[in-house]
Structures are given as structure tokens and as C-alpha cells.
Amino acid sequence: MAYLRAEHISKRFQLRRDRADSVGGLLMRMLPGRRPPPAEPFWALRDVSFEMGPGVSFGIVGNNGSGKSTLLKIVTRTMLPTTGRIAVEGRVSALIELGAGFHPDFTGRENVYLNASILGIPRRQIERKMEEIIDFAEIRPFIDTPVKYYSSGMHARLGFAVATSVEPDLLIVDEVLAVGDEAFQQKCMDRIFRMKREGVNILLVSHDLGSIERLMDQALWLDRGVMRAQGRPRDVVHAYREALIGADAAPAPADGPEPAAPALELVSAHCLSQGRAVDQIRAGDPLTVEWTWACRGPEVFQGALELSLRRPDGLEIARWSQLKEGRQIAVGPGQARVALDLDALWLATGQYEFDCALFDGQGRRIWEARPLLTLRVQALDFSAGLVLIPHRWRVEA
């Protein structure tokens, strides 16, 4: 079992702005007695603290440049903090940068042995896992080719296969999986989920907020090096999304046009089944989600709606998006009703939530409600699993 504690971690870099734009400028910088301009301090992290107990999975979210990768490099001891302390117990396996730890002139197979030796894995043990690593990475025809000829996706496949096959106590994964195709990304997430069930500590940086909510036990939001929120993944992701919406709606600079405020307001929202408002249905019943919107301005509002169905633990079950379907709503002036009809909702017994988001005509998210509505489903028959799939048994002699 692994254990990780970060205490008041800060990291400062020195930025120098003495770049020469020409050969003459370069020669001028080399003149005797000429001093370069003073460096400017840049704090990539400021006073970040968190703790991971044994078997805990931890997700880190934030915009690009918020300090996420810097924090992971400090955790893996490839970078030292300016102030603060890191304590790590257990074997750590990290996948932070594409090609990190790979020698470009070595083959894929040779780099597997190289990475294993860095992690302290005996050669005999990695030989037993070699076929499993090759099969998972899906690069068997190229395993004996130098990795300098690999694509970024092949680098990610091999790196992830090695990092997750050496039985780490703590697995650290940065956003490098984004270069893989969708099927491989899902394959990686399945393996991460299996390792989580087996008690492996996981520290994951991802822009896939749904994966953070679904897979992680705790989450941390970094904003320009400062820790803005820490706690339950659903709460942290919700706060992060609200901040993104606020940033999209922030006033423009003084020399630019000021964006118009969202012209649409939600008056009411209901779940309807067979013509009446409900908060509970039987599995298989039809369902309609209905909104009443009011357009404040004199012009017609055009935009798109997105509705997600989730379990309370954040697992997304389904999503209906006008934005993805190329559809729009047009409301105003005045009020209008918008409805989404579902022919049958075959869900197992339990509590569910509908999340709603509104996008403007340029596809920018301008409003959301999490949750918008709650719904309880009661299955009259045996309902193991998540969804009920209509079926029948047949026996043919």
C-alpha cells in the first residue's frame, strides 16, 4: 500500500526575457561587462497541500498552465519544490510525458527492460509480463523497432502498458492518454478502474471531468498554481465548471466589445409521465423532461440544450445534446416550452439525477444546473445491474 503527503508545496521558476532576435543582438549580449536583464520570478505552485491514504484515488483538475504537471513532477521527485515537503511510501510508477524514460535508439522491447530496471523490477519478472505488455499496447509488429520511429500514440500505448504492468503501489498518470484513440483511452480507463478495485493508489490528471467524478475518491482543483478546492470529486468538478462558466461570461477588455448577458432564463423544469408531473416512475415508463424558458430581450435567443442522466455518484448513464446533433432552440420574445421525449426509461431501481447545460449560438456554455431534476425509478421485477434491457429466453429442441 502507498501513502502520499504533500505539505505546503510551492515551486518558483526564474523567467528571463533576454532573448536575442538577431545575430547582432546575440553578439551584443556577449560583449564584456554586459549584464543580462534580471530574471522575473514565476510561481507555478503556491502552498499546495493534500494527503492520500492507502487505497485512495485522487484526481487533479484545472486549466492548462495551472501547475498540474509541475505538481506531478514534484511528487515523482523529478523536480524539487522551492518550499514544502513531499513524503511518499511505496513503489511509484508514473506516466507524465510522452517518451519519458525511453531511449530513442532502443527498440520497444529494450525500453520495456530499461523502464523496469529504473523502477527496480527484476528482469526475470518483466520477462514474465512481456507478452502481456505487448498485447495491451497493441504494437506487436513494431515492438523490435527503435522507438524514435514510433508515433505519439504508440509512445502512449507502450508507456501506459509498462507503467501499469509493474504492479505499482502508486500510479501517476498525466493527460498523455489524450493522444490515443477513443477505444484505447477506454481500455486504459478500464485498467485504471481495475487497479483501483485492487487497492492501488492512483493520482490522475485529466481534462475528462466525467472520469474524475466516476473513478476518483478525492479531487483537487488547481488554478494558476493555487489550490482552489479539494474534496469530493463531484463537488470539486462542479465548482470548477461554475468557474469556467464565469470566465466565459467575464467582461471583455476595455478596448473590446462587451459581451451581452445571457438572454434566456429558466422559469421551471419538470419530469412528466403520461401527462402528469412526477418525481418517481416505474422502469420502462415513458418520460418527458420539460423546461419553460423566458427570453428577456426583444430578439429571439438561439442556442442549444444538453441533458445528462447520472447516478448520484457521478456516473453518467446517457446524454442528449442538441449541440452534438446540430440542433438549436429558438425562444423569444416571451416564454416558450421545450421538451425532450423519452419513449421508455429502462433503469434499475434507484435515484437518478438530470443535469442541464445551455449553450449560446457560438457553442459557449453559458448556464448549467447540476442537478436540474431528481427522479426515482422503481423496477417491479428483479433489477440487478444499472439498466434493464428488454429480452426474452428461447429454447429450441
What is the residue-level pLDDT of the chain in tens, covering all 397 positions?
678 899 999 999 987 666 656 666 666 666 666 666 667 888 999 999 999 888 888 999 998 889 998 998 898 888 899 999 999 888 888 877 666 678 889 999 999 988 888 777 888 888 888 999 999 888 899 999 999 998 888 888 888 888 888 788 888 888 766 656 677 777 887 888 888 888 889 898 888 787 787 778 899 999 999 999 999 888 898 888 888 766 554 444 444 444 444 578 899 999 999 889 999 999 999 999 999 998 877 788 888 899 999 887 777 889 999 988 888 888 878 888 999 999 999 998 889 999 998 888 888 788 888 889 999 998 877 666 788 887 788 899 8
Q: Quickly count: other Cβ atoms within 10 Å of residue 196's Cβ.
A: 19
For strand 264-273 and strand 287-295, is the pairing parallel, antiparallel, or unpaired?
Answer: antiparallel
221, 237, 108: which is closest to 160 by C-alpha? Answer: 108
Distance between CA atoms of residues 106 and 84, nearest Å: 37
- C-alpha cell at position 219: 479531487
CA-angle at 291, arms to 289 and 296, nearest 5°: 165
Copy the grid coordinates of residue 350. 434507484
Task: Provide, for the chain, the percentages of residues in helix, strand and coil under a 3-state DSSP scheme, each rounded to the nearest 5.
Answer: 25, 35, 35
Predicted pLDDT of residue 390: 79
What pLDDT shows up at residue 31? Answer: 63
User: Residue 228's pLDDT is what?
Assistant: 92
In angstroms, how far is the first alpha carbon of the chain from the final one?
A: 54
Helix (H, G, I), strand (E, B) or coil at 25: helix
The beta-carbon contacts of 378-385 under 8 Å, at least 24 apart in sequence, are 378/280, 378/281, 378/282, 378/283, 378/349, 379/282, 379/283, 379/347, 379/348, 379/349, 380/282, 380/283, 381/283, 383/283, 383/348, 383/349, 384/348, 385/348
**Other C-beta atoms lying within 10 Å of the C-beta of residue 260:** 10
* pLDDT for the residue 207: 81
Q: Residue ranges of the alpha helices (H) in 198-257?
A: 209-215, 233-248
- CA–CA separation, 241 and 226 (whole Å): 17
Architecture of domain 264-378: Distorted Sandwich (2.70)
The pLDDT of residue 247: 58
Amino acid 257: pLDDT: 45
Cα separation, 380 vs 385, whole angstroms:
14
Show the cell assigned to 282: 416505474
Could you give the residue range(s) of every CATH 3.40.50.300 domain in the chain? 3-16+39-245
For CATH 2.70.50.60, list the domain ranges present in the chain.
Answer: 264-378
| Residue 304 contacts residue 355 (beta carbons within 8 Å) | no
In the block, cell 525500453 appears at: 111
Backbone phi, psi, residue 343, to 5°:
-65, -40
- Residue 378's DSSP bridge partners are 282
Supply the pLDDT for residue 261: 46
Given 3.40.50.300, 3.40.50.1370, 3.20.20.80, 3.20.20.140, which CATH number is that of 3-16+39-245? 3.40.50.300
Distance CA 125, CA 130 (A): 9
Distance, CA of 60 to CA of 216 (rounded, Å): 10
pTM of the model: 0.66
pLDDT score at 255: 47
Torsion sign, CA atoms 230, 235, 238, 242:
negative
